[in-house]
Amino acid sequence: METFSKNQLIAGLILLVLIFFFLGLGGYDLTAPDEPHFALVAKEMLTDNHWVLPHRNQTPYPDKPPFFFWTIALFSALAGGTVNAWTARLSTAIAASLILWIIWQWSRAGDPDKPENSLGPLFTVLILMSCFKFFFQARIAQIDMVLCLFTTAALTAGYDAMTGKSYSPFRLGLFMGLGILTKGPVGLLIPAGAMAVFALMSGRSAWKNYPFKALAWTFVPVAAWLILLILDVALNNQWDYLNNLLFKQTVVRFFNPWHHHQPVYYFFVSILYDFLPWTPFFLLALPWTRPSREALDQRQIFSWAVILFTLVFFTLSKGKRSIYILPVFPFAAYVTAAKLQWLAGKSKLARTELAAGLIAGLLTLILGLGCLVVLGGWVALPLGWVEAPLPKGWIGAAGFMLTAVSVYILTSILKNRIKPMVAGIVAAMLVVNLLFFLVILPWLEPFRSARGFTEAMNQVITKSYERSSEKPVVGMVDYRSAYRLYGLFTLIEVANEFGFPNSSLPKIDNFFAAHPDGWLIVRQDDWESFLKDHAFKAKIHLRQKVGSGDLFLLITKDK
């Protein structure tokens, strides 16, 4: 690190950010279910001006507040008014980049007088950037990375408040308020709860610095939106939406979730594989012993407070997804970097420290050998539904590079050379990133995406109505937002009485009774199940495979 100037390091980090987060960002279709779902909400903001009361498929969407959708709509408007894969994902890639900048600045402020100070912040950024879960979420149009931006900004500002440093209550409150506008109360609860845990860890005197003033500013942006929302709800008589958003999607969903059920230990396991390849060093950083706890500085204690509170808080709910704990990752990277910086100053590594590096190197070797096994055809991937040649050339090249890098990582750790080892691990994850996002996903796209079926459907229906002034009515069994996002028609949601029935939706026979000239999108298996109990003559206009083998039909009633 000493051989590079500060400007060279920053330029190198910017280049890595562009490759890890932005290169080929729009090179593959939006992935169901979440990405098309959120993109459609933003699209209807642009087309129908539903900026305050979000809509999806022409109906109010109570699941999430609007901020994330505003960002997609804004970037789409700046790019010409069309929501696509690039504009939908741009806000998460930018959010991830800003998180790196925030945690870099926060790390550098830890002890600016030490000459080795640049090593810890640099390690923090490299670890976070190359952590699999973080760079994966940076390329996915999901809410949680934007939430992570605001929780990270709030927590780093909150640290200054809790340690008696100068801070802006307005700025801290604004970050928490924007977090609420992004994903609800967790935008406030994560920073507020983590700061409370830090106060408990630091002693009674720490409570006098708790930023209560900032809490008042938190509700300024929230109140501004709620006032506009209540006016919109009143004008459109959508009071059920307001109740759903404020209570069902927050309190009820936390204490009595209706999906994503996982065991109580779920997050304590998921963080171990989501934080790869840095998990062995994160485990080393855990303050297992009393001397290691006493050696922690204030920023490390604060980071552990964030990690502990976030894991425990989300564990209390039965509904669990690994992305919920994304706000942990910047601070997990910080404590891991602190441990690696300490290891870099040692002349000899202990057995556990050596083992951590060997595990990272062996994991890289396994990835490399796995690619070479695929190249040799010794193992068939479970992707028989993909009707295109496997890109063996790229997979083989990645395999050779990963194998070579693994040797570099292993020799570096055996020689107690921490900095080259870190560089090798980052290089390995860069290869994984490029292989997955620039090769594998574009290769899968024509077969996993609903775009092909939907565009063919658009042509069939449009041609049938080219001489008619009537508007086609289109329904879909097991509604999926991708078919509306890429389609030209609003979809009537039809119940799947053979899979996950929903009594509030019309069934297939009800749909055709109400719309005799209607068009219906349905899986072939569901249609065949329907025909077993119903005498129904239908005309199949389109039959096409979507995803991992599902055949979708476009049908009308045969007259």
Taking the C-alpha atoms of residue 435 and residue 449, their distance in angstroms, rounded to an integer, is 19
Taking the C-alpha atoms of residue 117 and residue 109, their distance in angstroms, rounded to an integer, is 9
Residue type, 239: W
What DSSP assignment string belongs to 180-242?
Answer: HHHHTTHHHHHHHHHHHHHHHHH-GGGGGG--HHHHHHHHHHHHHHHHHHHHHHHHHT-HHHH
What is the chain's pLDDT, residue by residue, as a tens digit (559 residues)? Answer: 456 677 788 888 999 999 999 999 999 999 888 899 999 999 999 999 999 989 999 888 888 899 999 999 999 999 998 999 999 999 999 999 999 999 999 998 876 555 445 688 999 999 999 999 999 999 999 999 999 999 999 999 999 999 989 899 999 999 999 999 999 899 999 999 999 999 998 877 788 999 999 988 999 999 999 899 888 888 877 777 777 766 665 655 565 665 667 888 899 999 999 999 999 999 999 998 888 888 898 999 999 999 999 999 999 887 788 999 999 999 999 999 999 999 988 888 889 999 999 999 999 999 999 999 988 888 777 777 777 888 999 999 999 999 999 999 999 999 999 999 999 999 999 999 999 999 999 998 888 888 889 999 999 999 988 877 788 999 999 889 999 999 999 899 998 876 665 567 888 988 999 999 999 999 998 898 888 888 888 899 999 988 777 889 999 998 7
Could you confirm whether domain 451-557 is CATH 1.10.10?
Answer: no
The pLDDT score that the predictor gives to residue 445 is 85
DSSP category for residue 327: G
Domain range list for the chain: 6-344, 351-381+388-448, 451-557
The pLDDT score that the predictor gives to residue 112 is 58
The pLDDT score that the predictor gives to residue 356 is 93
Half-sphere exposure of 283 (CA within 13 A, CB side): 19
- Give the rounded distance of the alpha carbon of 358 from its chain centre: 30
**Token pair for residue 549?**
């083998």
- The residue assigned the tokens 């199940």 is 529
For 49-68, letters b (16+ CB in 10 Å) and e give: ebbbbbbbbeebbbbbbbbb
For 358-385, letters b (16+ CB in 10 Å) and e give: ebbbebbbebbeebbebbeeeeeeeeee
Taking the C-alpha atoms of residue 418 and residue 343, their distance in angstroms, rounded to an integer, is 7
Residue 386 sits at the vertex; the CA angle it makes with 551 and 395, to the nearest 5 degrees, is: 160
Helix (H, G, I), strand (E, B) or coil at 474: strand
Taking the C-alpha atoms of residue 126 and residue 13, their distance in angstroms, rounded to an integer, is 8
The answer to whether the pTM exceeds 0.85 is yes
- The residue assigned the tokens 């720490």 is 206
Question: 239: buried, middle or exposed (CB in 10 Å: 19+, 13-18, 0-12)?
Answer: exposed
Distances (CA, A) of 99 to 145, 320, 351, 530: 9, 23, 34, 50
Residue type, 481: S
Question: 204: buried, middle or exposed (CB in 10 Å: 19+, 13-18, 0-12)?
Answer: exposed
The pLDDT score that the predictor gives to residue 540 is 93
Residues facing 542 on adjacent strands: 554
The pLDDT score that the predictor gives to residue 357 is 93
Half-sphere exposure of 346 (CA within 13 A, CB side): 15
